[in-house]
Amino acid sequence: MPVSVPALFVAACLAFYVFRSGVLRPYIKFIWHCFIRPIGVADQKSRLDEFYQGQADVYDATRNGLLRGRKTMLSLSAAHLKALRAASPNKRLVWIDIGGGTGHNIELMNAYMPISSFDAVYLIDLCEPLLDVARARFAKKGWTNVTVLCQDASEFSLPEWINGKDPKGSVGFVSLSYSLSMASLIPSFYTVLDRIEHVLCPQDGLISVVDFYTAGKQPSLHEKAIGGASKECGWLSRWFWQIWFDFDHVSLSPARRSYLEYKFGTIKSFNGRNRFIIPFIVRIPYYIWLGRPRSCDVSRACHAFEVEGGNMIGNCSPVSLKAIKGAEDQLVPSLQIGEPVLEYGPEATTIDITPPFSSFHYHIKSSWRLPYYEQPVHKEFRTFIYSFTWEDPFEDMKHLQLSSNDSMFVITSAGDNALHYAAASSPQRIHCVDMNPCQGHLMELKLAAIQSLDYEDFFALFGLGRHPNFRGLLDSKIAPYLSSSAYQFWRIKSQSFKSSFYLRGYSGWALRLTSFIFRLAGASKDIEALCNADTLEQQEDIWKRKIRPVILNPLVVALLKNPVFCWNALGVPLNQRKMLLDEGGVYEFIRDTLDPLASAYLFKTGNYFYLLALLGHYTPSSCPQYLTRSGFETLKANNGKVLNAFRLHTDSIVHVLRGLTDASLTRALIMDHLDWFTPGSPAIDEELAQLHRVLATGGSVFWRSAARKPWYNANFERRGFKVTALGVRQGPEAAIDRVNMYASFWRAVKI
pLDDT tens digits, 251-282: 888 899 999 998 999 999 999 988 766 655 67
- The predicted model scores a pTM of 0.85
609 close to 390: Cβ distance less than 8 angstroms = yes
Give pLDDT, residue 690.
96
- Same domain for 69 and 30: no
Residue 609 has pLDDT above 80, yes or no: yes
589 close to 557: Cβ distance less than 8 angstroms = no
Q: Which residue has the higher pLDDT, 691 or 278?
A: 691
Residue 309 has pLDDT above 90, yes or no: no
Residue 462 placed within a domain: no
Least confident of 7-21, 78-92, 428-442, 684-698: 7-21
Give pLDDT, residue 219.
64
- Same domain for 259 and 116: yes
What Rg value do the Cα atoms of the chain yield, rounded? Answer: 30
Q: Which residue has the higher pLDDT, 336 or 660?
A: 660
Instruction: Give the confidence band of 399 by pLDDT, cuts at 50, 70, 90.
Output: very high
Instruction: Give the confidence band of 436 by pLDDT, cuts at 50, 70, 90.
Output: very high
Give pLDDT, residue 356.
57
**What percent of the chain lies above the pLDDT cut of 90?**
55
Give pLDDT, residue 236.
85
Q: Which residue has the higher pLDDT, 221 or 583?
A: 583
381-397: average pLDDT: 91
640-644: average pLDDT: 95
Residue 332 has pLDDT above 80, yes or no: no
Other beta carbons within 10 Å of 483? 30
Give pLDDT, residue 660.
93
Residue 319 has pLDDT above 60, yes or no: no
Q: Which residue has the higher pLDDT, 425 or 584?
A: 425
113-119: average pLDDT: 97
The dihedral over CA atoms of 729, 433, 388, 382, expressed in degrees to the nearest 10, equals -120
Residue 480 placed within a domain: no
Kind and range of the H or E element at 197?
Answer: helix 189-199
Number of domains in the chain: 4
Instruction: Give the confidence band of 510 by pLDDT, cuts at 50, 70, 90.
Output: confident
- Same domain for 177 and 283: yes
Give pLDDT, residue 88.
84
What distance, in Å, lies between the first and last C-alpha atoms of the chain? Answer: 91
The DSSP call for residue 313 is B
Residue 97 placed within a domain: yes
Give pLDDT, residue 184.
67
The Cα-based distances of 322 to 330, 332, 351, 360 in angstroms read: 13, 11, 6, 19
Chain-wide mean pLDDT for the chain? Answer: 83
- Same domain for 324 and 261: no
Give pLDDT, residue 296.
77
Other beta carbons within 10 Å of 246? 13
Residue 677 placed within a domain: no
Instruction: Give the confidence band of 585 by pLDDT, cuts at 50, 70, 90.
Output: confident
Residue 121 has pLDDT above 50, yes or no: yes
Q: Which residue has the higher pLDDT, 519 or 345?
A: 519
- Same domain for 317 and 290: no
| Domain hosting residue 348, numbered range | 302-358
The DSSP call for residue 665 is E
- Same domain for 333 and 244: no
55-59, 340-344, 432-436, 576-580: range with highest mean pLDDT: 432-436
The per-residue pLDDT for range 517-571, each reduced to its tens digit, is 889 889 999 999 999 999 999 999 999 999 999 988 888 777 666 666 655 555 6
Residue whose C-alpha is closest to residue 180's, from 146, 151, 154 = 154
37-57: average pLDDT: 53
- Same domain for 310 and 288: no
Residue 9 placed within a domain: yes
Give pLDDT, residue 295.
82
E strands within 78-237?
A: 94-98, 120-125, 146-150, 173-177, 206-212
Least confident of 325-329, 333-337, 349-353, 621-625: 333-337
Residue 747 placed within a domain: no
- Same domain for 232 and 124: yes
Give pLDDT, residue 367.
78
Phi and psi, residue 73, nearest 5°: -60, -45
- Same domain for 321 and 203: no
Residue whose C-alpha is closest to residue 106's, from 129, 78, 82 = 78
Domain boundary at 615, 643, 670, which? 615
Q: Which residue has the higher pLDDT, 46 or 72?
A: 72
Instruction: Give the confidence band of 329 by pLDDT, cuts at 50, 70, 90.
Output: very low
Residue 446 placed within a domain: no
Give pLDDT, residue 330.
33
Residue 64 has pLDDT above 80, yes or no: no
Residue 708 pairs in a beta bridge with none
Q: How far apart are CA 624 and CA 394, in angstroms?
A: 10
- Same domain for 164 and 117: yes
Residue 386 has pLDDT above 70, yes or no: yes
Domain boundary at 615, 644, 678, which? 615
Give pLDDT, residue 303.
40
Q: How far apart are CA 208 and CA 187, in angstroms?
A: 19
Residue 355 has pLDDT above 60, yes or no: no
211-226: average pLDDT: 78
Q: Which residue has the higher pLDDT, 50 or 275?
A: 275
- Same domain for 116 and 248: yes
42-56, 320-334, 485-499: range with highest mean pLDDT: 485-499
332-348: average pLDDT: 34
Other beta carbons within 10 Å of 227? 23
CATH of the domain at 263: 3.40.50.150
- Same domain for 352 and 203: no
Residue 428 placed within a domain: no
What angle, 0 to 180 degrees and rounded to 10, lies between the N-to-C axes of helices 484-492 and 437-452? 90
Give pLDDT, residue 131.
93
Give pLDDT, residue 42.
54
Domain boundary at 594, 615, 636, which? 615
Give pLDDT, residue 287.
94
Residue whose C-alpha is closest to residue 339's, from 322, 353, 325 = 353
Residue 335 has pLDDT above 60, yes or no: no
Give pLDDT, residue 305.
39
